[in-house]
Structure 1
Amino acid sequence: MPLQLPATAADYRRLARARLPRFLFDYVDGGAGEEQTLRANEADWAKVILRQRVLVDVEGVDTGAVLAGQACDMPLALAPVGLAGMMARRGEVQAARAAAAAGVPFTLSTVGICPLQEIQRAVARPAWFQLYMLRDRGIVQALLQRAWDAGCRTLVFTVDLPLPGLRHRDIRNGLSAGTARARLGRALDLLGHPAWTWDVALRGKPHAFGSLADHVPDARDMDAFKAWVDAQFDPSVTWAGIDWLRGQWPGTLLLKGILDEDDARAAVRAGAQGLVVSNHGGRQLDGAASTASRLPAIVQAVGAQAEVLVDGGIRGGVDVFRALALGARGVLVGRPWVWALAAAGERGLADLLQRWRQELRLAMTLAGVTRVADIRATHLDRSHP
């Protein structure tokens, strides 16, 4: 029986899997290698046990928070997801509207379909912008200037992608091969998903990579774009490159992709106001530690010198509470918002975000805490192994 009333991120994942062409679903859903890190990300949050308290005055629980200087209705931001505009018609715009309605930030990926200017026309709340270091520093400067001119004041700079991870699902689906056979396979996949093909592939144009359209030789050709991006990744970048970036960007700088305490301290020295504990959703180094397992040590390493956020495997409001109890200021979520968007568009994502806020409020209530800023390690049950 078809699922009529989705309640969880997993429910929306099930619906998204049925609606999306397989190559797009696997692109979002999959991880690197044997997907060990992908699985560990989610499993390790479940190992963080909450301490339930009773007979505490919890009237007036407030889920509000401040992330990167921006007031939010809960300590959560939508993470950057490449190709999100292909998961629903003008997907990034729909997601930005849902995020604005929920009172949380939306982050546009450099490899998003909709340009930042289109996002900003749709919402009053300024978006965050995610960027990679490209070999052509002139393009980096142009993207930064365009983001600033569009009103963006928070830059999420990804540091864990000197080269793309080896993602077996993408190989099986032909995304790593620009051959006639691969293109035929994707075409047959589309024929099996007529609703998506009509709504997104045909009615959702243009399908160019909006932020890069002026820089890529043919931003509408997926194979040509992939070849261009592969050539632009710069594995020679060091912390000196972050020093250069800090000189180019006058706004808030968050470095995304930190898993090591020494790197966290280096991020602070490089002038980052915040960092995101992240393993790229398990899409880069398979076998790397989960973010839940690395978060406490990184929080301890930087102390109050930088705002620490975390992503990877967070699947509900209780996981948000767990992350805060382990020391994070807030979380970024990727796959869940894309699943909800693909399954039911802006309405589905709005419903999911509302439910997560309810789950967070309930977790706070039953843990005996009324303010996000007061969530501590003392709200965890350390008696479990």
Structure 2
Amino acid sequence: MLIGGVSVDKGNINFSDFFVKPNYSANLTGMKGSVSKVSSGDPTPADLVLNGRLDDDAPVSISGKINPLGEQLYLDIAAKASGVELTRLTPYAAKYAGYPITKGKLTVDVAYKIDHGKLDASNHLYLDQLTFGDKVDSPDATKLPVLLAVSLLKDRHGVIDVNLPVSGSLSDPEFSIGGVIVRVIVNLLAKAITSPFALIGSAFGGGSGEELGYVEFAPGTSTLTPAAKEKIATVAKALNDRPSLKLEISGRIDPATDEAGARRAWLDARVAEQKRRDLRKSAQEGDEASDSEAGEQGADVKVSKQEYPKYLEEVYKRASVKKPRNFIGMAKSLPPEEMERLLMANAEVSETDLRHLADQRALVVKQSLERDGKVPEDRLFLTAPHLNAEGIKDKGAPNRVDFSVRQ
């Protein structure tokens, strides 16, 4: 079979889908273009060029190569439709999402290649101002929280910009291009909901993304590390780019490690306080160097490794703990490790203290998101703390703050 070529001028292609109710119809109008020679005896594909509009509105262009007369279909085409009114797709949205579309435009840029029965395709979707109406009853609608998924995908400008690859074998009796595309879209929505921080990470350079779902702390502390601040900054960018999202913040402690960490933090704080006392005393006695150091460091006094044994011993001498004594009843001098052990063993760390630690971790993260990330306070919610390491499915430390998103 041989076709010498086909030209189209002012053509019209009408498509109707009677499977959905109400029916969906699309009308390609003003089509103009051509298909070059194609033959069942010649494997050379024909050149295809078509241009027109969807319902006399959105421009449509199709170009590429095709050979429908060969032993196997060959297709390598690209197509684009710009500014398609999304309200036209309400029959599909109501059936599969459970919501009608009340506003929005779609630009779709696709590339499909079929060779030796194998399909490889890319679908670039750009949805601007997608807006749903009130929920409708549909037995075929997904059970996923569609509105939350859309909020996760939509940026501050109301745009959803995604690429959906599709592949498969046309010889598979279960294969359906439409069915595959529906599954890809559903999978995208599911991933957005179940792994929102993976989505955030890919959009804002947060590595694997999953790690953005929590902020780690050193055991026993509620001090933000540089890595924690970097995570918080990325989460803040994502929230500011998705203004319809809210963030829930939950502090967590691990009794197995946070109690020991809290004892360590308790001792470090007292060593620092001892240095602070000495600096104040020296300043009062007129030591200008000490006065300058105290003024510069204030509450954030740092104790060097060389200074630590000195101030640790002073803390030990002041502490009301049972101390080893010599034969005349005076407290023995002990190596730093022994003084640390005795002091930390007598540090009081209660369940209430640990709960307060979990709450404090959540609070410092919330304050950082507000102060440094400029996230409005009314979008941030502190939730009840987790007082154990149960339920953690990632590889992060249990001394942490956990995030979750909601609409």
**TM-score tier (shorter):** under 0.3
Q: Highest CA radius of gyration, 1 or 2?
A: 2
Could you say which structure has the greater relative contact order, defined with CA pairs below 8 angstroms and 6 or more residues apart?
1
TM-score scaled by length of structure 2: 0.21
Higher helix share: 1
TM-score scaled by length of structure 1: 0.22
